[in-house]
């Protein structure tokens, strides 16, 4: 089976600082993979590289078997939210999605309108789609961001800190939406988050990064059992062995 995402020996420098050091990992199609590590470990740099926002210095990066060197083709079946989604506040959710839908040149006007209706329904914004985005809660904006990421019928969706700032209800709604899209649409997810307890509930696999190096990768059950721990939080701390301990707390935030 073709991998949804493959990184082989990826390195990246910003100025004189080595951000990523020869990292390699794969994401299987149909899985939900959590990407975790302390602040400054290299998570956001990796995600920006995967989504084509910055270039790698060395290595190979494949999205659904297509090399990122061919950026347009590689990203055509990839949706993403990197950091917080940004929309025009004085336009409605529907109008924002309509503007963004024009990025897909292969869709006719009728196809775009049908897709907009579909993604609005999927993320549960029916009845609010014509309201201005400035009236939306943070949770609604995140759902609109997910809707935007679905406009191009992606097989892979990449999310960077999707629960930041959400209240418990918003986090629960987002979790259920991700699980629904994975179960019903077969969408693969690659998610970076500080909330270990939340990721433990939805992820099948994990990749742990620290100081720009991959420290662990594999199935959730193996991660927890191999260290003889009861949960992801304990396994994570055990693997890092005290590295960046000041960036970790008992709420699962790293």
Q: Distance between CA 116 and CA 129 in Å, rounded? A: 10
The CA-atom distances, in angstroms, between 56 and each of 40, 184, 208 are 17, 34, 19
Q: Distance between CA 144 and CA 161 in Å, rounded? A: 15
DSSP states along 177-209: HHHHHHHHH--EEEEE-S-HHHHHHH-SEEEEE
Q: What is the pLDDT along the chain (254 residues), one digit of tens a residue?
A: 789 999 999 999 988 999 999 999 999 999 999 999 998 899 999 999 999 999 999 999 999 999 999 999 999 999 999 877 889 999 999 999 999 998 887 788 899 999 999 999 999 999 999 999 999 998 999 999 999 999 999 999 999 999 888 888 888 999 999 999 999 999 999 999 888 889 999 999 999 999 999 999 999 988 888 656 678 888 888 888 755 544 443 333 33
Q: What residue segments make up the domains of the chain, in order of their start?
A: 1-77+156-254, 86-153
What are the tokens at 23?
């990292």
The CA-atom distances, in angstroms, between 189 and each of 6, 117, 159 are 13, 22, 8
pLDDT at 134: 97
Domain 1-77+156-254 has CATH 3.40.50.300: yes
Q: Are 35 and 190 in contact (CB under 8 A)?
A: yes
């Amino acid at each position: 089976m073709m991998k949804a995402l493959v990184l082989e020996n990826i390195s990246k420098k910003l100025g004189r600082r080595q951000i990523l050091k020869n990292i390699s990992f794969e994401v299987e199609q149909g899985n939900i993979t959590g990407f975790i590590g302390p602040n400054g470990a290299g998570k956001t740099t990796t995600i920006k590289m995967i989504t084509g926002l910055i270039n790698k210095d060395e290595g190979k990066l494949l999205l659904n078997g297509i090399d990122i060197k061919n950026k347009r083709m590689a990203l055509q079946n990839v949706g993403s939210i990197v950091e917080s989604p940004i929309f025009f506040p004085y336009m409605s959710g529907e109008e924002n999605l309509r503007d963004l839908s024009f990025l897909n040149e292969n869709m006719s006007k009728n196809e775009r309108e049908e897709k907009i209706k579909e993604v609005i329904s999927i993320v549960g914004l029916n009845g609010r789609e014509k309201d201005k985005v400035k009236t939306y809660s943070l949770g609604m904006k995140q759902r609109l961001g997910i809707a935007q990421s679905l406009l191009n019928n992606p097989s892979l969706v990449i999310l960077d800190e999707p629960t930041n700032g959400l209240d418990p209800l918003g986090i629960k709604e987002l979790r259920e939406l991700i699980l629904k899209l994975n179960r019903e649409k077969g969408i693969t997810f690659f998610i970076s988050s500080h909330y270990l307890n939340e990721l433990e509930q939805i992820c099948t696999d994990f990749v742990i990064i620290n100081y720009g190096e991959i420290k662990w990768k594999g199935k959730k059950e193996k991660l927890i059992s191999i260290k003889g721990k009861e949960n992801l939080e304990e396994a994570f701390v055990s693997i890092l062995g005290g590295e960046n301990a000041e960036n970790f707390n008992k709420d699962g935030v790293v």
